[in-house]
Amino acid sequence: MKVTLFATCLVDMFQGDVGKAVVEVLERLGCDIDFPEDQICCGQPAYNSGYVEESKNAMKKMITAFEHAEYVVSPSGSCAYMLKEYPEVFKGDPIWEPKAQALAAKTYEFTEFIVNVLKIEDVGAYLEGKATYHTSCHMTRLLGVTEAPFQLLKNVKGLHYVDLPGKDRCCGFGGTFSVKMGNISGEMVNEKVLNVEETGADILIGADAGCLLNIGGRIQRQGKPIKVMHIAEVLNCR
Amino acid sequence: MAMKTSDDRFQQRVTKELDNQFMRRAVSSAQERFQTRRLQQAEELGHWEEWRSHGEEIRKHVLANLDYYLYQLSENVAKRGGHVFFAQTAQEATDYIQSIAKKKNAAKIVKSKSMVTEEINLNTALEALGCEVIETDLGEYILQVADHEPPSHIVAPALHKNKEQIRDVFKEKQGYSQTEKPEELALYVREKLRQEYLTADIGITGCNFAIAESGSITLVTNEGNADLVTALPKTQITVMGMERIVPTFEEMEVLVSLLTRSAVGQKLTSYITTLTGVKDEEDTDGPEEFHLVIVDNGRSAILGSEFQPILQCIRCAACVNACPVYRHVGGHTYGSIYSGPVGVVLSPLLGGYDDFKELPYASTLCGACTDACPVKIPLHQLIHRHRQVIVENEGKAPISEKLLMKAFGLGASSPTLYKMATKIAAPAMSPFTKNKTISKGPGPLKAWTEARDFPAPSKDSFRDWMKHRTKGGGQ
């Protein structure tokens, strides 16, 4: 099965290891990975800040870059959701609305793709440790992917899962919110890290690069002995 | 209290409230209590999503036919001996209520909780006439005694205060000498207020729902204060936002079921009272005169706009209780009597963008508010819509941000420029980088790095790795 990877700009620039893990896991599951060089940012930072017109050019480039794809898979629920929003953005546009609809219909978040399209719940991963999981807001509330990550994690051998108190509470990232309202965002991520610590877990897992950049940044600043991993990296451990 | 509650700048308020550890502890524990109970009640009732859809449908229907129901309501209020006054502005509403107070030579007025009277600044208007105005909702009373502090939550106005602070307010202002035990505090206030009801000339209430088919108003409380406010004084004035209507008792029952569960996680509150018109001859209590003041104050401008869904709101504060930003900054940061997500959407619409332009950015767009709303208002989408209006129509976005976004429009939309950016990011950030980490960032990264590290851009981007790897073998 040919899978076209939408890496996201955060993974492309800052979290290459997540991208590598996604590629390796999907290849192991029999997918043939295609990476269109023309992919850019999904436009969310400008779009969510209210600069809808400014974000449209980026969106059009994205639609074109993925026009040939059969499945578009992304290791970020938030960025995948942005692609799903494109039809709303181009509503009433005779050329771009149908194209946006086509892209939205074939776009999947990474775990959702494995569980719902590939129909696989056990990828044969092995990772020893006590882990907890942060459910990202856009992935669960907006994209509606709630079960897939847990279905995959419960089949990771050696992994002892503990529930995160307040796991569905926003970590304070919120894209440009994290710099526009840096002090509020800082308090939010501080509480998130306290919640993670409370579980006694030595691994924090998430499925969205943005949230992990935020929570991981706080953990690193405080020098806590907690490893932050994207779920693709967990599933890539053997 | 008018809509706007502070002249401080938004960031000043944020800094001040983030420092208020008492408030933050009180708010976060209250949020958890409210939320847990709300979810339990929704679960126990069953079919919660269907209930929500039903609630949404009722509210949408009313808004689509608001003129019809307002007419029906006013006809039926008049039939039962009441007077109806349509106030287009806050001023018109307070002028009318002042005129009644004058006519009645009112010295003392008791009030039950009402956000719309806060919105139109009614207490100040009545006090200007020399009337003594007494709030009878426990939370509102505490704030009134505490030098007219603004409410920090639309359902629990004194949520930001803990019991020790409340004890101190009464001690300082009224010589209260007992402990901070909630029972003792409540008994103290209850005894004080009892005298006030008996000697008041006018009772003023808000309105949870007005029932068009009968001209009745429904009041939802846990303290029973609204019942005394409406039973004892000879004149009753009820003030309502023009959208707070239901067609019949049947829809009222659905919305009350959603309201009490969403607001405080209760199946029913202790008192749900429906009153119709003036007292009948055989009645032993109730008002001899009844005025219903229906307030527009900007609402009809929202009607028919893309922000119309906010008029579905039944003021339960479930969104406030779910909001992770409110959790840390509390209600006073919003600088409006309406705080939390509903306040973020409503305040700029009713009070203008000038005073409330920062509010739409005090959200991570996480969607917790939208999920919690019992009448399915797409709150986070309306917040996003405000941002768009601020950027496109209001011209209130900072110039530096506009330039940045223009650059984004150019850079992110050109694959060549984007690829170049992935290449130059690492060398550009190298002066700020130590051990692959940025701990003190320049520009917008400064705010980020106050609380957390930022990873330095990788020298080789993921796309370089993709290009040079041999398939299937990793690298």
Domain residue limits, chain B? 17-301, 415-468
Residue A192 at interface with chain B, using a CB cutoff of 8 Å: no
Q: What is the pLDDT of residue B411?
A: 66
Asked whether the predicted pLDDT for residue B184 surpasses 80, the reply is: yes
Q: What is the pLDDT of residue B336?
A: 97
Among A194, A183, A188, CA closest to A219: A194
Best residue of A170, A171, A192, A194 to probe chain B, by most B CBs closer than 10 Å: A170
User: Is B384's CB within 8 Å of A50's CB?
Assistant: yes
Range of weakest confidence among A103-112, B142-151, B302-311, B459-468: B459-468
Range of weakest confidence among B114-118, B241-245, B250-254, B455-459: B455-459
The partner residue sitting opposite B451, judged by closest CB among A142, A168, A218, is A218
pLDDT band at B132 (very low <50, low <70, confident <90, very high): very high
Q: What is the pLDDT of residue B403?
A: 74
Give the three-class secondary structure for A80: helix
Q: Name the burial class of residue B411, with classes exposed (0-12), middle (13-18) and buried (19+) by CB atoms within 10 angstroms of its CB.
A: middle
pLDDT band at B1 (very low <50, low <70, confident <90, very high): low
Those residues with Cβ within 8 angstroms of residue B427's Cβ, 6 or more apart along the chain or in another chain:
none
Residue A95 at interface with chain B, using a CB cutoff of 8 Å: no
The partner residue sitting opposite B465, judged by closest CB among A20, A182, A221, is A20
Residue B425 at interface with chain A, using a CB cutoff of 8 Å: yes
- Can you state the angle between helices B48-64 and B21-45, rounded to 10 degrees? 100
| B contact residues 396-415, partner A, Cβ 8 Å cutoff | 397, 401, 405-406, 408-410, 412-415
Angle (CA) B165-B170-B172 rounded to 5° is 90
Chain B: residue whose CA lies nearest to A14 = B457
Contact B454/B438 with Cβ under 8 angstroms? yes
The partner residue sitting opposite B457, judged by closest CB among A14, A20, A218, is A14
User: Is B324's CB within 8 Å of A169's CB?
Assistant: yes
User: Is B364's CB within 8 Å of A170's CB?
Assistant: yes
| A contact residues 121-150, partner B, Cβ 8 Å cutoff | 137-138, 141-142
Residue A183 at interface with chain B, using a CB cutoff of 8 Å: yes
Best residue of A25, A173, A178, A211 to probe chain B, by most B CBs closer than 10 Å: A178
- The mean pLDDT of A60-88, rounded to a whole number, is 96
Q: What is the pLDDT of residue B447?
A: 85
Q: Answer whether CATH 3.40.50.10420 is correct for domain B17-301.
A: yes
Rounded to the nearest angstrom, the minimum Cα separation between B182 and chain A is 28
All structural domains of chain A? 2-116 (3.40.50), 122-235 (3.40.50)
Residue A2 at interface with chain B, using a CB cutoff of 8 Å: no
Asked whether the predicted pLDDT for residue B397 surpasses 80, the reply is: no
| pTM of the model as a whole | 0.95
Contact list, B410 vs chain A (CB under 8 Å): 57
The residue to which tokens 């001209």 are assigned: B215
Q: Would you state the structure tokens that stand for residue B263, as one six-digit string?
A: 């607001």
Alpha carbons B455 and B449: distance in angstroms, whole number = 10
Q: What is the pLDDT of residue A127?
A: 97
Residue A36 at interface with chain B, using a CB cutoff of 8 Å: no
- Helices H, strands E: what count in chain B? 23, 13
Asked whether the predicted pLDDT for residue B113 surpasses 80, the reply is: yes
